[in-house]
């Protein structure tokens, strides 16, 4: 299935300036449950860190980064080093690559323990991400709202990301749109998110 066929089967959620395709649930509930349990147990989770206004902030949210190479990845003045792919991540990467017809060489994982943890408005604009390349987001666990906001017009698009679902951001999406995972007090269970990316150089600084 080529990109034209995908955009007709999975309608572009953005009205202009980018492409976001939501594949919906690509796994059965049983499969998704098994992957969630394995990722929760086996991934080398660490609390995320950032330096904001000169102060080191440690979040409740946990992160991990895996990839093909020993990348160094720096954002918010903190540096992370990619770990070697685990068997379960390679399995999921292959599945996502087949569905999206893209190739990825790294994966940033986030563990949100409940709805109190989220992500503020941002775009994935790392220096060495492939320009206008695809980012594939695979979700497990609690269903969460995901929102886009155009940088100029401020138009918003919102959807819910289901357990075992896949969303892909392509083309100029990162240049023109912000996205976020808003907090929700009604959500009491965990969510794991995998974002598969294509990094073109070994060292990344943002």
Place of tokens 């959807």: 159
Q: How confident is the model at residue 204 (pLDDT cuts 50, 70, 90)?
A: very low
Can you give the pLDDT at residue 127?
Answer: 56
Between CA 16 and CA 40 the distance in angstroms is: 36
The two three-digit tokens of residue 180, written as one number: 């976020």
pLDDT at residue 80 tops 80: no
C-alpha 149/C-alpha 154 separation (Å) is: 5
pLDDT at 45 over 50: yes
Q: Does 183 score more than 60 pLDDT?
A: yes
At 205, the pLDDT band (50, 70, 90 cuts) reads very low
Three-state secondary structure call for residue 193:
strand
Lowest model confidence (mean pLDDT) among 55-64, 144-153, 173-182: 55-64
The pairing of beta strand 83-84 with beta strand 55-67: parallel
pTM (2 d.p.) = 0.88
pLDDT at 4: 55
The runs of H, that is alpha helices, within 43-182 are 87-100, 173-176
pLDDT surpassing 60 at residue 206? no
3-class DSSP state of 168: strand
CATH architecture of 3-205: Sandwich (2.60)
Q: Which residue has the higher pLDDT, 1 or 41?
A: 41
Cα separation, 121 vs 57, whole angstroms: 18
- Domain ranges (residues) in the chain: 3-205
pLDDT digits (tens, 9 = 90+) for 13-25: 999 999 999 999 9
């Amino acid at each position: 299935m080529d990109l034209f066929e995908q955009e007709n089967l999975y309608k572009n959620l953005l009205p202009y300036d980018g492409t976001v395709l939501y594949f919906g649930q690509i796994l059965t509930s049983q499969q998704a449950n098994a992957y969630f349990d394995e990722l929760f147990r086996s991934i080398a989770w660490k609390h995320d860190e950032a330096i904001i206004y000169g102060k080191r902030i440690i979040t409740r949210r946990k992160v991990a980064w895996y990839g093909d190479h020993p990348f160094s990845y720096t954002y918010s003045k903190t540096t992370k080093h990619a770990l070697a792919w685990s068997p379960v991540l390679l399995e999921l990467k292959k599945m996502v690559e087949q569905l999206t017809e893209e190739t990825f060489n790294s994966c940033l994982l986030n563990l949100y323990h409940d709805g109190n943890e989220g992500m503020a408005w941002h775009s994935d604009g790392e220096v060495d991400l492939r320009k206008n390349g695809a980012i594939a987001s695979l979700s497990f666990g609690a269903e969460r709202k995901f929102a886009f906001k155009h940088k100029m017009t401020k138009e918003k698009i919102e959807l819910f990301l289901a357990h075992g679902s896949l969303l892909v951001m392509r083309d100029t999406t990162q240049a023109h749109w912000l996205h976020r995972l808003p907090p929700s007090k009604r959500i009491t269970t965990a969510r794991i998110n995998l974002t598969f990316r294509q990094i073109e150089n070994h060292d990344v600084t943002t």
